[in-house]
């Protein structure tokens, strides 16, 4: 899994955007197999790109490939994101730590 900060990425065409309700987060998926996470209003750090994750697949011969993400869903109870790419590969992404970090950031500014 490759995680990048905003200045290192050039975003391809976004195909999916999902609000991670009830959290102050959005995830987007693009044609390069990249997931991008953003904080949104009413978060104190709204409109901030938090991180990017590359949806890499290791082939049978050991090369790393990625394919356009064609489906994306969020399981609020488990705090997991599920993606499917155009080759039929399914992935589960644990976003509990990202959500916890955002909740901690938001709690610093409660009451302001």
Q: Is 112 among the domain residues? A: no
Rounded to whole angstroms, the Cα distance separating 10 from 50 reads 14
Rounded to whole angstroms, the Cα distance separating 55 from 66 reads 6
73 pLDDT above the threshold of 80: yes
Burial label for 8, CB within 10 Å (0-12, 13-18, 19+), is exposed
- The range of the structural domain enclosing residue 29 comes to 2-107
Domains: count for the chain: 1
Q: Is 6 among the domain residues? A: yes
Q: Is 49 among the domain residues? A: yes
Q: Is 91 among the domain residues? A: yes
What tens digit of pLDDT does each residue of 13-50 get?
A: 888 899 999 998 999 998 888 999 999 888 778 888 99
């Amino acid at each position: 899994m490759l995680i990048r900060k905003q200045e290192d990425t050039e975003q391809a065409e976004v195909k999916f955007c999902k609000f991670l309700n009830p959290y102050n987060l959005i995830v987007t998926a693009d044609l390069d197999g990249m997931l991008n996470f953003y904080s949104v209003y009413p978060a104190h750090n709204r409109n901030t790109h938090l991180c990017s994750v590359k949806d890499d697949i290791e082939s049978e011969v050991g090369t790393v490939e990625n394919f356009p993400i064609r489906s994306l869903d969020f399981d609020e109870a488990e705090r997991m994101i599920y993606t499917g790419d155009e080759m039929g590969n399914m992935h589960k992404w644990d976003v509990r730590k990202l959500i916890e970090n955002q909740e901690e950031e938001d709690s610093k500014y409660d009451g302001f």
